[in-house]
């Protein structure tokens, strides 16, 4: 942790920087309950955000996360074959560190407003220069703290319009001028700077116990459209002060992302830029070894599921948050396939927007999901977010008629709902998180570039 004098030096030593408000009152009232007013952040991590000039409207567009020491880093990337230059660059950085068995990553530089996707060799060169600006910041960061520079590379993430070059000089100047510190306000600045069509910043932090000792997790994500596995069509970074060996971190992230960022869908489109990184710097002194691995993986999975849910709650034009829960499957893959099929059905999503208890659309999606069923064993119900009694719609493959339309109307007016489908074939289960599909989704995406 910086002393007060060093922290002040670090804040003032960069020159002028365009700051902005993080006051929750500027965001939609319905979303403010998801914006934290305080947090508990991992030791050894610093954050910041600014407006460097990418966005024409003057809004925040550049974020920086920095560790005060080398980290173990793992990431999952988009499977879109037109993967963006930042994805290619980050993959090479992480694979290089993994192959060399070294801790190399010290920072993440994130810009919003320009995706640096489908930009050819120039885009790759721009991503590398953006990473070099982050590495240069780390060198200056260490010098100002009066510590020996331990090297380190920077990951880069970009989000925004596809097919345009980065305004690189604005970004590199912005990185040089960035102010970072350990406060909640600094993390909020970084979260706000991630936003594109997002209506609120997505920041989450918590303390958890691993083998009786506390560690901390903090995560920032962004996304409101082009959200669909695999990967999750968005950007996100989770920082932890636990010490996690590379092989265990890779394994934990794979498990967690399958149940979080690869379990959300808004519109069925897969972005070119999706990246979720987990960065562990070990500053807590808590080592995640074999015995603590299960605890850490469970904590990481729950944390990432909560973080991913914020993306769905901000789905472009969304008015409902839907949890699709499939139980009694033969395998996890079967359960997830059925859940995903329901979650991505435009007919299901529009029915929820219209508050129409059209259970036939849900059952239809279950039937064409490509998983072998015994239809006589299928049960289905809708559970309201207020934890009142569910509306049971199908039992043993048969509809329970007549549908209680008055009760259905009460439930479908709520923002949060859970659709539970029981297959009756085994013990595996999976969840998908999705939203409804509204008129506003079309309006938002019809004029995105303007």
Q: Known catalytic residues?
A: 233
* Dist. CA 157–CA 171, nearest whole Å: 12
φ/ψ bin of 353: left (φ > 0), alpha (ψ from -120 to 50), beta (otherwise):
alpha
* Dist. CA 200–CA 255, nearest whole Å: 28
| CA angle (125 as vertex; 122, 130 as ends), nearest 5 | 125
Say what the alpha-carbon torsion angle 319, 78, 112, 131 is, to the nearest 10 degrees. Answer: 160
Q: Where are the beta strands (DSSP E) in 175-224?
A: 202-210, 213-222
Q: Where are the beta strands (DSSP E) in 281-427?
A: 321-329, 379-384, 391-395, 398-399, 416-422
**Which residues touch 209 (CB under 8 Å, ≥6 apart)?**
215
Contact call for residues 304 and 399 (beta carbons, < 8 A): no
Contact call for residues 204 and 187 (beta carbons, < 8 A): no
């Amino acid at each position: 942790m910086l002393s007060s004098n060093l922290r002040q030096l670090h804040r003032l030593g960069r020159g002028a920087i365009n700051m902005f408000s993080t006051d929750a009152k500027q965001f939609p009232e319905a979303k403010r309950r998801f914006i934290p007013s305080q947090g508990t952040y991992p030791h050894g991590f610093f954050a910041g955000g600014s407006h460097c000039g990418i966005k024409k409207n003057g809004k925040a567009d550049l974020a920086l996360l920095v560790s005060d020491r080398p980290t173990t880093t793992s990431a999952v990337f988009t499977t879109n074959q037109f993967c963006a230059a930042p994805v290619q660059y980050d993959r090479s950085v992480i694979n290089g560190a993994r192959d060399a068995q070294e801790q190399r990553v010290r920072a993440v530089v994130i810009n919003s407003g320009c995706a640096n996707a489908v930009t050819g060799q120039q885009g790759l060169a721009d991503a590398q220069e953006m990473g070099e600006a982050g590495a240069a910041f780390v060198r200056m960061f260490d010098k100002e703290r009066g510590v020996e520079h331990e090297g380190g590379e920077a990951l880069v993430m970009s989000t925004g319009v596809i097919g345009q070059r980065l305004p690189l000089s604005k970004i590199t100047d912005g990185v040089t001028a960035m102010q970072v510190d350990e406060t909640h306000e600094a993390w909020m600045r970084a979260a706000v700077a991630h936003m594109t069509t997002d209506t609120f910043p997505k920041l989450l932090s918590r303390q958890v116990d691993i083998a009786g000792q506390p560690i901390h997790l903090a995560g920032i994500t962004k996304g409101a459209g082009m959200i669909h596995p695999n990967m999750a069509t968005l950007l996100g970074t989770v920082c932890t002060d636990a010490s996690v060996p590379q092989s265990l971190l890779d394994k934990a992230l794979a498990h967690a992302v399958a149940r979080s960022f690869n379990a959300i869908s808004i519109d069925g489109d897969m972005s070119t830029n999706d990246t979720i990184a987990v960065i562990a710097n070990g500053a807590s002194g808590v080592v995640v070894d074999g015995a603590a691995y299960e605890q850490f993986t469970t904590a990481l999975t729950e944390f990432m599921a909560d973080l991913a849910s914020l993306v769905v709650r901000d789905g472009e034009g969304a008015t409902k948050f839907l949890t699709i829960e499939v139980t009694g499957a033969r395998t996890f893959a079967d359960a997830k396939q059925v859940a995903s099929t329901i979650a991505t059905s435009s007919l299901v999503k529009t029915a929820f927007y219209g508050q129409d208890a059209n259970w036939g659309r849900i059952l239809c999606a279950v039937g064409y999901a490509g998983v072998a069923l015994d239809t006589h064993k299928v049960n289905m119900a809708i559970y309201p977010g207020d934890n009142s009694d569910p509306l049971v719609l199908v039992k043993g493959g048969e509809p329970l008629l007549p549908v209680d339309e008055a009760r259905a109307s009460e439930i479908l007016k709520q923002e949060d709902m859970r659709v539970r489908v029981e297959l009756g074939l085994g013990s595996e289960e999976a969840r998908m998180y999705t939203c409804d599909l509204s008129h506003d989704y079309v309006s938002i995406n019809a004029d995105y570039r303007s």
